[in-house]
Structure 1
Amino acid sequence: MAEKSLTGHRNAVDRVLSAQGFAVDLPGIGRVRIPRPEQLAYYGALGALAAAEIIEWPVAVVLAAGHWLIQDQHNRIAHQIGEALEEA
């Protein structure tokens, strides 16, 4: 019974993490994670604003880095919740 519960929790965690994007295997580079469409739109909009010189490139880079760090923290929290569920 405990093994079935553990497998169920692990599957739930895998589904949550896979919903954050998907990965592509590129020759010579390896596995590259592709962000979700709304994240790609955010990065694209930052690039467009910087290219149109509406915002400066350093500002765009800082905003993109901050967004990436927030998403990374969210993924880490989801993983820790999954680990806690596995131990329960």
Structure 2
Amino acid sequence: MAEKSPTSHRNAVDRVLAAQGFAVDLPVVGRVRIPRPEQLAYYGALGALAAAEIIEWPVAVALGAGHWLVQNQHNRVAHEIGEALEDA
């Protein structure tokens, strides 16, 4: 089996993370990351449930924030795996 260089592992992790979304540059705000479509659907559904008063706004905000934190942790773990593979 051919040995892979450490940079190829890091490049693979970077490509996976880049495929999870994209960012746009807004004039006043700056660079804004746009979530993947399924994440947008999740946030939209939370907003719709809160607007229809099926759930309370604070609950929707807490669920959205928790979802965002989990996604952020997932990205951090992927970077750490790439660094560990680089060191191996």
Runs of 4+ in structure 1 deviating by more than 4 angstroms, as ranges, are none
| Corresponding residue for residue 56 of structure 2 | 56
Q: How does 1:20-35 map to 2 (within 5 A)?
A: 20-35=20-35
| Corresponding residue for residue 19 of structure 1 | 19
| Corresponding residue for residue 10 of structure 1 | 10
User: In the TM superposition, what whole-angstrom CA distance separates every residue of 1:61-81 from its partner, at most 9, and x where no partner exists?
Assistant: 111111111111101100111
> How many equivalent pairs are there?
86
Q: Which amino acid aligns with 1:66?
A: G
Q: Distance in 1 between matches of 2:12 and 2:66?
A: 28
The structural deviation recorded for 1:83 is 1.2
Q: Distance in 2 between matches of 1:62 and 1:81?
A: 29
Could you tell me the percent identity over the aligned residues? 85
Q: Distance in 2 between matches of 1:83 and 1:27?
A: 34
**Aligned-partner SS, 1:32:** strand
**Aligned-partner SS, 1:23:** strand
TM-score normalised by L of structure 2: 0.89
Root mean square deviation, CA, Å? 1.5
TM-score normalised by L of structure 1: 0.89
The answer to which structure has the higher helix fraction is: 1
Tell me which moved more, 7-16 or 39-48: 7-16
| Corresponding residue for residue 44 of structure 2 | 44
**Aligned-partner SS, 1:20:** coil
> Unpaired runs of 5+ in structure 2?
none
**Aligned-partner SS, 1:68:** helix
> Unpaired runs of 5+ in structure 1?
none
